[in-house]
Homo-oligomer: A and B are copies of this chain.
Amino acid sequence: MQVLKLGGSVITVKDQPMTADDDNIRRLCEEVKAAWPTPLVIVHGGGSFGHPVAKKYGIAEGFTSERQVLGFTRTHQAMVALNTIIVDTLLDLGVPTISLSPSTFIMTRDGRIEDINLEIVGRLAVKGILPVTYGDAVVDRTKGFSILSGDQLAVRLATGLGASRLLFGVDVDGVYTSNPKLVPEARVIESLPLDKLDGYIKIGEALTTDVTGGMLGKVSEAKTAVNAGIEVFIGNASKAGVILKALRGEAVKGTILKR
């Protein structure tokens, strides 16, 4: 079993609200199709669909005002819209894909997953069905509601389903020695041991920012998976063939997080 997280910055156009990156989505779905059949769960981020709405209504901060109720539902429905584009594309390609809506089977406490029904996801995946889920606005037992990041969800699914590998498809080539957008000599760290993570974590901070934490949040979440013995790979899903090779377990540019 593998879990593939596709970053919102890869599958949407970041500066244009509610705009999918149709070319990237189509290409990534074709890469998944080329690796199919294989036991797999996909988790995708929100990009320009979920994040602007969630930010506008302060959903991540929890329930403080009645006007957020409509914002909560609009955030979720924006994510359903993005998810539908991906699921429909995979179904068109003949990959038996099912949408799983996090707000329907997950509850958080203070923003961390507390309840999750893994039996349905697991049963679907072993039947040869590809579950596609996403970061979402969810019910939170203490805050009323919260934003569940796709990164947190991907790690939880990987550990809960006993996945062997967790692949993060992002819009850069991996974790860098410095911010490559600022430092020309920055290079990708091919193999990053867990005990050196904390030193590097701040490096990634400026690479991408979103309401759920960007590269900092990703690497920080991923520690749990690494500690559980799962191989974690971070690579560039904006470049053709990277995800296909990663899914097949072939060597490809990126960062592998190690114990």
By a beta-carbon cutoff of 8 Å, the part of chain A in contact with chain B is 63, 66, 69-70, 72-74, 76-77, 80-81, 84, 87-88, 91, 94, 96-101, 103-105, 107, 115, 117, 119-120, 123-124, 127-129, 139, 144-145
Contacts and interface: CB of A to CB of B under 8 A. Distances in A.
26 contacts: A66-B128, A69-B96, A69-B127, A70-B91, A70-B94, A72-B98, A73-B91, A73-B98, A76-B99, A77-B87, A77-B91, A77-B98, A77-B99, A80-B87, A84-B84, A100-B103, A100-B104, A101-B104, A104-B120, A105-B105, A105-B120, A107-B119, A117-B117, A120-B139, A124-B139, A127-B144
Nearest to A120: B139
A74 B91 contact: yes
A105 B91 contact: no
Nearest to A106: B120
Contacts of A117: 104-105, 115, 117
A76 B104 contact: no
A34 to B, nearest CB: 17
Q: How many copies does the complex hold?
A: 2
Contacts of A119: 107, 115
Q: Which of A66, A128, A139 has the most CB of B within 10 A?
A: A139
A76 B70 CA distance: 26
B129 A69 contact: yes
A76 B98 contact: yes
Contacts of A144: 127
B129 A73 contact: yes
Nearest to A73: B96
Given A63-B127, A120-B139, A72 B99 contact: no
Contact of A69 (B66, B99, B100, B128): B128
A76 B128 CA distance: 15
B103 A120 contact: yes
Given A72-B129, A73-B98, A81-B84, 17 more contacts: A63-B127, A66-B128, A69-B127, A69-B129, A72-B96, A73-B97, A74-B91, A77-B98, A80-B80, A98-B103, A101-B101, A103-B120, A104-B117, A105-B105, A107-B119, A115-B117, A127-B144
